[in-house]
Amino acid sequence: MLSQELQSYIDSLIQPRDGLIAEMEEYARQNGVPIMEPAGIETMLQLLRIQQPEAILEVGTAIGYSALRMAYALPQAKIITLERDEERFKLAVDYIKRAGMQQRIIQISGDALELEEEVAGHAPFDAIFIDAAKGQYKRFFDIYSRHLKPGGMIITDNVLFKGLVYNQEAESKRVRSLVKKIDEFNRWLTANEEYDTVILPIGDGVAVSKKR
């Protein structure tokens, strides 16, 4: 992980967002909604700009922040996004409607572990972004990676989990269990011979996996 001073310096270089995106960031901050950290999402968007995907699957909509950031950055892309929390799903519906992106961002409500059949109707995907229940990362990856095109990319957020993955000394038993699952996922992912994977120590840790 980067030092707090260096991370703050990098964040200070990121141009401030305005309009609806700034409003969403403020809502997330005030209401404890997890959205991708600034350096993390800017890195992801740059990777996607290089790749130029036409079809993206997002596992974990939350309030629609990442989906809208991807839609703005990639005018040619269609995004399928999954969310199980009803309140956040409704908020995302409103934000996406206000952005006029209903035709490009297709929302599906429900548990991502149970939505493969519905998602398959929109496959294959050029890129997949996983940012949902961290204890289920491997299951999400297993389910949806089969709908990724050869050469496609899977981006997974929060894989360093506040730096706890390398010392696993969290006070809470629940957090220790979650950290253990993330660590096991990271080790499985980086050893997976079907993908070339790198873990970037930015934001809360971003894994970038390219399908061979």
Give the pLDDT confidence of 153-167 residue by residue, as tens digits: 999 999 999 888 887
Asked whether the predicted pLDDT for residue 76 surpasses 90, the reply is yes
Average pLDDT over residues 97-106: 98
Task: Determine if residue 157 is labeled as part of a ligand binding site.
Answer: yes
Is 66 marked as binding a ligand? yes
Q: Is 94 annotated as a binding residue?
A: no
23 is in an annotated binding site: no
First to last CA, the chain: 27
Average pLDDT, the chain: 96
Residue 193, marked binder: no
Neighbouring residues of 183: CB distance < 8 A, sequence distance ≥ 6: 165, 168
Q: Is 131 annotated among the ligand-binding residues?
A: yes
% of the chain surpassing 90 pLDDT: 89
- 130 touches 156 (CB < 8 A): yes
* Paired tokens of 34: 């997890």
pLDDT band at 170 (very low <50, low <70, confident <90, very high): low
Strand-by-strand arrangement of the 55-59 sheet: 105-109, 78-83, 55-59, 125-130, 148-157, 206-211, 195-200
What is the percentage of the chain residues whose pLDDT exceeds 70?
98
Q: Is the pLDDT of residue 169 over 80?
A: no
CA 13 – CA 154 distance, rounded (Å): 26
What confidence category does residue 194 fall into, taking pLDDT thresholds of 50, 70 and 90? Answer: very high
**132 has binding-site annotation:** no
Task: State the average pLDDT over residues 103-107.
Answer: 99
Ranking 8-17, 18-27, 61-70, 109-118 by mean pLDDT, the lowest is 8-17
Per-residue confidence band for 168, with pLDDT thresholds at 50, 70 and 90: low
Do the Cβ atoms of 154 and 127 come closer than 8 Å? yes
Mean pLDDT to the nearest integer, 97-122: 98
pLDDT (0 to 100) of residue 173: 84
pLDDT of 193 strictly over 80: yes
User: Is 111 labelled as part of a ligand binding site?
Assistant: yes
The secondary structure of residue 159, as a DSSP letter, is: S
Give the count of beta carbons closer than 10 Å to the beta carbon of residue 29.
Answer: 10
- pLDDT (mean) for 184-208: 97
Cβ(95)–Cβ(68) under 8 Å?
yes
Domains of the chain (ranges plus CATH)?
4-211 (3.40.50.150)
